[in-house]
Structure 1
Amino acid sequence: QGPDPSLAYRPNLETNETKEKEGYRNFESGSLFDRVFKTYSLMHTSQTLAFVEQKHSEWTGCTHTRMSMMEAVMSLDQLVDESDPDVDFPNSFHAFQTAEGIRQVHPDKDWFQLVGLIHDVGKIMALWNEPQWAVVGDTFPVGCRFQNSIVFRDNTFENNPDDKNPRYNTDYGIYEPKCGLDSVLMSWGHDEYLYRVMKFNKCSIPEEGLYMIRFHSFYPWHSHGDYMHLCNEKDLKMLPWVQEFNKFDLYTKTTDLPDVEKLKPYYQSLIDKYCPGVLLW
């Protein structure tokens, strides 16, 4: 078997990185600040426990459409994430950038590479008229106190009724100590939706990959150490995997865009292995 022809089209992260790590996730300033702040303000006002329960009933039955995973990935060409302060180009490029970054460092973990490709596919909800504040951005638990590490915590939750509800605004809220994240309702978005699609269609990605999909936007947990009081042993075991994934999700965002057409055959082979055929969404 000869060399993989797509190798020549993979970006070199060491030479193409366009800014230092400290320059990512700048929520203080920048050309995209107004758009980002507006998205988070709407999210933090509207993402209540009742809202999240409603979205679960609307989306987790996977009754919206049928399509292949590669079709879903490429549909992200139509989407620019309004919550992202780092990039302003279609999300499909970020999918291949992330996957290729993982492939460089973890060539033996093809399921990990596939997670890099598909992790944001749940954002297709925005193409089906779900507002972006209910699709993109960092996630956080509902039904308990909103922790201080949430982006814009100080000035965007004042009109969220759960923030003043004594049943919900304590550290544990409706949950039990160390109940496990599987028992916690997260703010609704693309993480939880794609996780549910994976489970519904019985895709064979390992549990570590499913955690990456489900919690990669849960920055208060994997990057700031909040909400540990809700975690069980399984969550703590999976946390390093989510943190490893985050390095590629975040630091592969460069303006050096990969040659998607040359890379697609390789990633189609991974899709055929782990989530083949037409899926229900």
Structure 2
Amino acid sequence: MSAINIGPDPSLAYRPNLEMNKTKEKQDYRNYERGSLIDRVFNTYKLMHTNQTLDFVKQKHSRWGGCNHTQMTMMDAVMSLDNLVDESDPDVDFPNSFHAFQTAEGIRQAHPDNDWFQLVGLIHDVGKAMALWGEPQWAVTGDTFPVGCRFQNSIVFRGNTFLDNPDEKNPSYNTEYGIYEPNCGLDKVLMSWGHDEYLYRVLKFNNCSIPEQGLGMIRFHSFYPWHSAGDYMHLCNENDQRTLLWVQEFNKFDLYSKSTEMPDVDTLKPYYQSLMDKYCPGVLRW
């Protein structure tokens, strides 16, 4: 591929070719060069890239993996995002719950027969509730990337934002494979800690019946260096290749459904409650 100027987000060159929102051009999404929110976004990523180390991620797995923080229904978790504005997102400055319903409705229109896919659209960001429970947003929101191996150039704001991350200078971690084996599979790779991995673990802990491809969408939808830039394939196995296709399909709705046109949440809630009753019913442990 010839060299082009794609700014701080190299994955922009690989964006899926789908027009989900006629009021906003594709290149206007994930603009990490300019905009009214760019300072807030950059500061979030700088803290993330400084503090997300292998040891930090292991600590977060230990803290959150037991799902002993609280108990609530999935709908309560979704609606709690009314109180959260994602500080890593350059596209929107309104509560995350609206984005949840926007994504779900986009999927519902395009995939009317896959109700589990629609539910994934609704709940995919619910793990961001950690930010309401004391976690800083740089440990909750934003793009994810593997720790324990070299930070690839396709990571947003890769530049010099990792200079103060001790893993950047650790010879055991800053090679192509780091602590991993070739084609070991992403299931054996530790990602930077965030809402993706947390919600995935909550759903597994509570024995929710969302299909594996849906769980893969939830676990890796923020892994832009992989699903949009094509990096880290040397760590993937055949199962990851199948998951990738589903994540890329999901990304079309996650990214391009963002707009200032707010959905009628009260009208939509009964339908999505029925999906929750089917796939993740009752009070869940978080």
Mark the CA change 1:161 to 1:14 in structure 2 (over 3 Å): closer, same or farther.
closer
The corresponding residue for 1:127 is 132
Distance 2:106 2:24 in 1: 16
1:215 aligns with 2:220: yes
Runs of 4 or more above 6 Å deviation: none
Q: Alignment partner of 1:279: what SS?
A: strand
How is 1:108-127 mapped onto 2 (pairs within 5 angstroms)? 108-127=113-132
* Superposition map of 1:222-241 within 5 A: 222-241=227-246
SS in 2 for 1:97: helix
Distance 1:17 1:216 in 2: 23
Quote the Cα distance in structure 2 between the aligned partners of 1:86 and 1:32.
8
Cα deviation 1:109-150 (Å, max 9, x = unaligned): 000000000000000000001000000000000000000000
Classify 1:95/1:184 alpha carbon distance in 2 versus 1 (closer, same or farther; 3 Å).
same
Matched, 1:196 2:207: no
Count of aligned positions: 269
The alignment partner of 2:171 has SS state of coil
Distance 1:27 1:15, change over 3 A: closer
Match of 1:30 in 2: 35
1:66 aligns with 71
CA shift in 2, pair 1:104/1:156, >3 Å = same
- In structure 2, the residue matched to 1:10 is none
Q: Which residue number corresponds to residue 252 of structure 1?
A: 257
CA spacing shift, 1:270–1:197, aligned 2, 3 Å:
same
Say whether the 8 Å CA contact 2:221–2:250 is kept in structure 1: yes
Sequence identity (%): 81
1:155 CA drift (Å):
1.8
Structure 1 residue 87 and structure 2 residue 92: aligned?
A: yes
Give, in angstroms, the shift of residue 17 of structure 1.
3.5
Q: Which of 19, 24, 28 is the equivalent residue of 1:19?
A: 24
Which SS does the other structure have where 2:122 is aligned? helix
Deviation of the 1:16 alpha carbon? 5.8
Contact 1:17 1:252 in 2 (8 A): no
Judging changes above 3 Å, is the alpha-carbon distance between structure 1 residues 17 and 88 closer, same or farther for their aligned structure 2 residues? farther
| Aligned counterparts of 2:19 and 2:57: Cα–Cα separation in 1 | 40
Q: Deviations 1:82-106 (Å, cap 9, x if unpaired)?
A: 0000000000000000000000000
What is the aligned-residue RMSD (CA, Å)?
1.1
Task: Give the alignment partner of residue 157 of structure 1, picking from 162, 166, 175.
Answer: 162
Secondary structure, aligned partner of 2:49: helix
Say if 1:96 and 1:116, in contact at 8 Å, map to a contact too.
yes
Q: What amino acid sits opposite 1:46 in the alignment? A: N
Q: Deviations over 1:186-243 (max 9, x none)?
A: 0000000000000000000001000000000000000000000000000001101000
Shift of 1:18: 2.4
The match for 1:98 is 103
Q: Secondary structure at the match of 2:284?
A: strand
Paired residues of 2:20 and 2:253 also in contact (CA < 8 A) = no
The CA deviation string for residues 159-195 of structure 1, in whole angstroms up to 9 with x for no partner, is 0000010000000000000000000000000000000
| Counterpart residue identity of residue 52, structure 1 | V
C-alpha distance in 1 between matches for 2:21 and 2:235: 39
Report the counterpart of residue 147 of structure 1 in structure 2. 152
SS of the equivalent of 1:83 reads coil
| Contact 2:20 2:256 (C-alpha < 8 Å) held by counterparts | no
Q: Distance in 1 between matches of 2:51 and 2:31?
A: 23
CA contact (8 A) 1:24 1:86 kept: yes
Task: Provide the C-alpha distance between the structure 1 equivalents of 2:132 and 2:242, rounded to a whole number of angstroms.
Answer: 35
